[in-house]
Structure 1
């Protein structure tokens, strides 16, 4: 027999899974309302990359939106292990999708500045003050290699940092030790 897990109960499981996977990072997990009531939004500052978060949250989606057909593909059921000698149970999550959104704090922007100074040929490139505020009149190169990635769409100091930070896990950089 299949157990159906409501979106509200799935949100609790997502919170617990993210807290377990990324201790010290504060996640906001909210259910949508209205016609999108089966959707969730996960937001957080700094911490893991969005790909790392999606690797966790993807397990809790009962359906996946398919842009090619403009419809949903059923994710099917999953087996959830029980406690001790208890048999696994078959579960279907009622959540249609989980969106994630990552913000960057001043500490995150300082980490991006550090990466630019240590990983690029532009050791003199200063995009942020020590407080993490962007210096909007910074002279930007036409391209930049940072952490093994070439970034060629340089528009503003903030966008340069976001392009860098999009690929960087900031859990150990900006999360205070406990």
Structure 2
């Protein structure tokens, strides 16, 4: 039986996670010292811990049995590439820790949901908050930062990840020629009916992070990003220019469809 060194397992795990969750940046670290047979996985927002652990469990060679205070073999085997050669063996990994961080943007969205659920009352930044219900989820009584974290973790991030997966599925379902046409870049435009929208984004291209900073939201039905409150209003060309500039700063090609000028007398 061949044994696969922890560092090679960590490299293979990172490759698998990036393939399974495109657009999410994973930091996969091999332990040092007494924890050298352990691996830690870090990421921000994106998939849930349970989703990620579906991919980490098969990479463990042993697991701790608390009842008998000892490690037991999992009988898992993994295939990795070492110096260009495929090697299959038992992973020398006793455990894999997973750590999902919540971004400031997600916490900001959580505070906005709390605001809506409390009739426009600004959420406090300290003190104990009563239990409440946000989008059908019971948020436990807790200190303010912890309650914002629960809202982000239980409501905001699952909704965003579901939208990202829907967007990826819709992109994959498009005819090949249509994908090629859309590969040229994004289109930022304003119409009276739809307001200010951005089309042509792809999962993992970096556009989502930029658009969320400008308070854009993903329209699941129409499959585009839109700026709330801009329908049936005149285009804010300054706002559109700022969005386009930030998208281009993220190395994204953007075509701006300028709104028609209002006729003058």
Query: Shorter-chain TM-score: what band?
Result: 0.7 to 0.9
Looking at structure 2, the residues matched to 41 and 58 of structure 1 have their Cα atoms a distance apart, in angstroms, of: 12
The Cα of 1:90 is off from its aligned counterpart by 5.8
On the 8 A contact 2:58/2:76 being kept in 1, the answer is: no
TM-score in terms of structure 2 length: 0.52
Corresponding residue for residue 165 of structure 1: 152
Of the two, which has the highest radius of gyration? 2
Corresponding residue for residue 15 of structure 1: 14
SS of structure 2 residue aligned to 1:145: strand
Q: Name structure 1 gaps, 5 residues minimum.
A: 81-88, 128-134
SS of structure 2 residue aligned to 1:13: helix
Report matched runs for 1:21-36 at 5 Å. Answer: 21-36=20-35
Query: Which has the larger helix fraction?
Result: 2
The Cα of 1:73 is off from its aligned counterpart by 2.3
Corresponding residue for residue 134 of structure 2: 146
TM-score in terms of structure 1 length: 0.74
Aligned length: 159
Looking at structure 1, the residues matched to 78 and 91 of structure 2 have their Cα atoms a distance apart, in angstroms, of: 11
Structure 2 vs 1, CA of residues 115 and 151 (structure 1 numbering), >3 Å: closer, same or farther? same
Q: CA RMSD in A?
A: 3.0
The Cα of 1:29 is off from its aligned counterpart by 0.7
Corresponding residue for residue 155 of structure 1: 143
> Structure 1 residue aligned with 2:120, among 115, 121, 124?
124
Looking at structure 2, the residues matched to 147 and 68 of structure 1 have their Cα atoms a distance apart, in angstroms, of: 40
On the 8 A contact 1:64/1:75 being kept in 2, the answer is: yes
Q: Name structure 2 gaps, 5 residues minimum.
A: 80-86, 166-203, 208-251, 253-265
Structure 2 vs 1, CA of residues 71 and 159 (structure 1 numbering), >3 Å: closer, same or farther? same
